[in-house]
């Protein structure tokens, strides 16, 4: 996060922790590759549509490497205790209540959607982990409908012409080991206004179309193995390519996407 955007962060702890987390990631990762991180504007209403390999590592990466402060949607069950809620809200996290966690009342998420809309109206950035769960599989899971409902609800109530959804992909070699590699790639914006006419005619069809476009964009930014039975072969090919293109020791953080796409185009099937 750039400190010129501190005013856009409600959580005091969020920006106090930011420099220490940079240092932590220098130690945690052998290499961090960043592509198009300036593609997240700080003066527009933005919904980040992100994949979710890990529980906390990739959300924190978004917070420290992208320019504006990020408000992260988080599973609601960890907000149950008042002290936990206060701590999480102070680092710009907010809850979503999922049926799989035992929540059945849709009204609980009405407040979440209103919270997101209030942030977007103020031209802040909200991150939604659209797969609905974290997993280490090198595969983009089907995109859930929550982000699309937030996007269309915001457009219906406030009509921000520049409301945009930006796909972001986080990629690891392993995802559960120290001294790993992280590749964080930001894609091109998807503007909600381009789907609004279709939404007025048939909301369900428009949501499905938007979700399909988000999923396609994420597959261009993430390691995606279409057939799970090819996983072992893909991992072996990735290891061979890492040996052919060894990473430089320094700097730890590098800009660029050439290494990702060289590997991606060679072996993702």
63-89 tens-digit pLDDT: 999 999 999 999 888 998 999 999 999
Q: What is the pLDDT of residue 268?
A: 37
Residue 7 neighbours by CB distance under 10 Å: 9
Q: What is the pLDDT of residue 1?
A: 82
d(CA 123, CA 229): 43
Residues 6+ apart with CB under 8 A from 235: 138
Tell me: the pLDDT tens digits for 209-220?
999 999 999 999
Q: Which of 108-112, 159-163, 194-198 has the lowest mean pLDDT?
A: 108-112
Tell me: the pLDDT tens digits for 145-168?
999 999 999 999 999 999 999 999
Percent of the chain with pLDDT over 90: 77
| CA distances in angstroms from 197 to 201, 210, 238, listed in the order given | 7, 12, 43
d(CA 140, CA 130): 10
Residue 221 has pLDDT above 90, yes or no: yes
Structure-token match 């392993």, residue found: 174
d(CA 133, CA 139): 12
* Contact between residue 129 and residue 51 where contact means Cβ atoms under 8 Å apart: yes
CATH code of 3-267, in short, is 3.40.1130
């Amino acid at each position: 996060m750039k400190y010129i955007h501190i005013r856009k962060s409600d959580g005091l702890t969020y920006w106090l922790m930011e420099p220490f987390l940079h240092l932590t990631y220098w130690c945690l990762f052998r290499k961090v590759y960043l592509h198009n991180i300036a593609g997240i504007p700080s003066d527009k209403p933005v919904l980040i549509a992100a994949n979710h390999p890990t529980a906390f590592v990739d959300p924190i990466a978004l917070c420290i490497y992208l320019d504006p402060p990020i408000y992260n949607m988080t599973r609601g069950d960890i907000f149950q205790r008042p002290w936990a809620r206060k701590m999480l809200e102070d680092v710009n996290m907010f809850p979503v209540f999922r049926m799989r966690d035992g929540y059945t009342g849709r009204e609980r998420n009405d407040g979440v959607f209103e919270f997101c809309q209030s942030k977007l109206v103020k031209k802040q950035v909200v991150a939604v982990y659209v797969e609905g769960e974290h997993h280490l599989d090198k595969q983009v899971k089907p995109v859930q409908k929550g982000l699309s409902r937030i996007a269309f609800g915001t457009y219906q109530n406030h009509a921000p012409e520049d409301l945009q959804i930006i796909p972001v992909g986080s990629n690891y070699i392993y995802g559960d080991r120290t001294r790993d590699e992280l590749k964080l790639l930001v894609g091109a914006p998807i503007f909600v206004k381009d789907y609004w006419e279709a939404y007025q005619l048939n909301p369900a069809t428009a949501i499905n179309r938007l979700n399909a476009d988000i999923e396609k964009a994420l597959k261009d930014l993430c390691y995606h193995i279409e057939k799970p039975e090819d996983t072992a072969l893909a991992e072996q090919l990735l290891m061979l390519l890492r040996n052919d293109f060894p990473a430089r020791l320094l700097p730890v953080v590098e800009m660029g996407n050439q290494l990702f796409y060289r590997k991606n185009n060679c072996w993702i099937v």
